[in-house]
Each structure stands twice: as structure tokens, then as C-alpha cells.
């Protein structure tokens, strides 16, 4: 199981302190949302943020690209220190080619699916994936509420990976909190992105530990 706090919700004026707090709490990865203002209606981070985080910690950097033509970011993000390179299949044409290029640059390759994007968009490339990210909100902004219908989609994705490629990590992102993480875990997710639930808590380290505690008992 992986807990990946999203720096989109961090206090960037205290970035070093916030990273230290969540890693002290046992965060496995740091999640970095990259938005270009075109694929989603927001503009966020780029190579400088990835490089800055790499200078602060050695935990894996889980980079989620909500951008048009993500292939243009493969080399610069690899050079900046990204560990996981995840993009949306709707944002480009040659999906398998870009997954392979990300792996060739030493990153793990992932696909992300919006709430209304069918699993079929990832199915043909499933053998080339290291990670499948199921969005549990419509992407673009932090602090949104988990969409209840996402749980059934997570379960379908879990069945697909058991059939096709059990080594693929199944990640969820959007509205993940101590109230929603249990349902996502029971549906089969093993990697959890949490922003507001961690960085807006009074004690981010304790929030990470609590998220892990909440989703460990799967019954």
C-alpha cells in the first residue's frame, strides 16, 4: 500500500517543512499534479517543482500530467527527477509509444482516466503499464468531493488488472480522506493520493499515519 500526499494542497511557502512532515509520517511517494490550463482549467507545476522536491527528499515523485501532448514532457521530467510519469490517453495519440519512452528514460509509466473515461481507453495498453490512476473527481482543482460512482470503477479496474497484469499499481486520486479511503481500498486500490486530507490537517504526519491505519483492515 502506498500513501502519496499531493503537494497541490501544500503550503508552498513552507514546502521543505511540509515535505519533512509527511515523510516523517511515513508517506511513501509525493504526488505532483502538472496542469497546463488546456487539458484542465488550471495551471500548476513544471520541472522546477519536480527538481525542488527531488532536492528535498529521496521518496519517489509520482507525477500526474493533466496536459495536452504529454510526450513533450518525458525528457525534461525524467531529467528533473520524476519517478512515475502518468498521463491521460485522451491527451495524445501514440499512447503505447509514450509509455515506452517514459520507461526508456527510467520512469514508471502510467495512464490516468477521468471519471467519465471508460476503462477501455487503458485496456489495449494494459500490458505496458506500471500504474493505472482512476480519478475519483473531475481533475483540475484540489479539495473536491469523492464521486461515489468511482468505487465501482475502481473495482472493475481491479478485476481487469488481476486478469491482465497483476503487477500494475491501482491508484486513486480525488477526495481521498479517512472517510473515503476504506471504500477505495476495499474496491482494490493500493495507491492513494491525498491532498487536503493531509496538508490541511493540523498535523500532516499524523494525517498520513491515520490514512494508512484506516485502510489496512480489508474485510
Mean per-residue pLDDT, 200-210: 95
End-to-end CA distance of the chain: 16
Render pLDDT for 115-124 as a digit per residue (tens, 0 to 9): 999 999 999 9
The verdict on whether 100 is a catalytic residue reads: no
Residue 173, C-alpha cell as written in the block: 486520486
Contact between residue 178 and residue 197 where contact means Cβ atoms under 8 Å apart: yes
CA dist 153 to 12, 188, 189, 215, Å?
33, 10, 11, 18
Residue 214, C-alpha cell as written in the block: 484506516
Mean per-residue pLDDT, 181-195: 96
Distance (Å, rounded) from C-alpha 116 to C-alpha 84?
Answer: 23
User: Domains of the chain (ranges plus CATH)?
Assistant: 2-215 (3.20.20.70)
Distance (Å, rounded) from C-alpha 205 to C-alpha 5?
Answer: 10
Distance (Å, rounded) from C-alpha 39 to C-alpha 30?
Answer: 22
Active-site position among 28, 33, 36, 130: 33
Contact between residue 131 and residue 169 where contact means Cβ atoms under 8 Å apart: yes
Active-site position among 36, 128, 130, 173: 173
Render pLDDT for 34-65 as a digit per residue (tens, 0 to 9): 999 999 888 899 999 999 999 999 999 999 99
Render pLDDT for 85-109 as a digit per residue (tens, 0 to 9): 999 999 999 999 999 999 999 999 9
3-state DSSP call for residue 148? coil
**Mean of per-residue pLDDT scores for the chain:** 94
The verdict on whether 58 is a catalytic residue reads: no
Q: What is the pLDDT of residue 217?
A: 60
pLDDT category at 142 given cuts 50, 70, 90 is confident
Q: What is the pLDDT of residue 219?
A: 46
Amino acid at each position: 500500500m502506498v500513501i502519496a500526499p499531493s503537494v497541490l494542497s501544500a503550503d508552498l511557502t513552507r514546502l521543505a517543512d511540509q515535505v519533512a512532515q509527511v515523510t516523517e509520517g511515513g508517506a511513501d511517494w509525493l504526488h505532483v499534479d502538472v496542469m497546463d490550463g488546456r487539458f484542465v482549467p488550471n495551471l500548476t507545476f513544471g520541472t522546477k517543482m519536480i527538481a525542488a522536491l527531488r532536492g528535498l527528499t529521496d521518496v519517489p515523485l509520482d507525477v500526474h500530467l493533466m496536459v495536452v501532448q504529454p510526450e513533450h514532457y518525458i525528457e525534461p521530467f525524467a531529467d528533473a527527477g520524476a519517478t512515475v510519469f502518468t498521463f491521460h490517453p485522451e491527451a495524445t495519440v501514440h499512447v503505447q509509444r509514450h509509455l515506452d519512452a517514459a520507461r526508456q528514460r527510467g520512469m514508471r509509466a502510467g495512464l490516468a482516466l477521468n471519471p467519465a473515461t471508460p476503462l477501455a481507453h487503458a485496456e489495449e495498453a494494459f500490458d505496458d503499464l506500471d500504474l493505472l490512476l482512476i480519478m475519483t473527481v473531475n481533475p483540475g482543482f484540489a479539495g473536491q468531493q469523492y464521486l461515489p460512482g468511482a468505487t465501482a470503477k475502481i473495482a472493475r479496474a481491479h478485476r481487469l488488472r488481476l486478469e491482465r497484469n497483476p503487477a500494475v499499481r491501482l491508484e486513486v486520486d480525488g477526495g481521498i480522506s479517512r472517510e473515503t479511503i476504506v471504500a477505495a481500498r476495499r474496491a482494490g486500490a493500493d495507491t492513494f493520493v491525498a491532498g487536503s486530507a493531509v496538508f490541511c490537517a493540523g498535523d500532516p504526519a499524523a494525517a498520513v499515519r491515520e490514512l494508512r491505519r484506516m485502510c489496512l483492515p480489508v474485510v
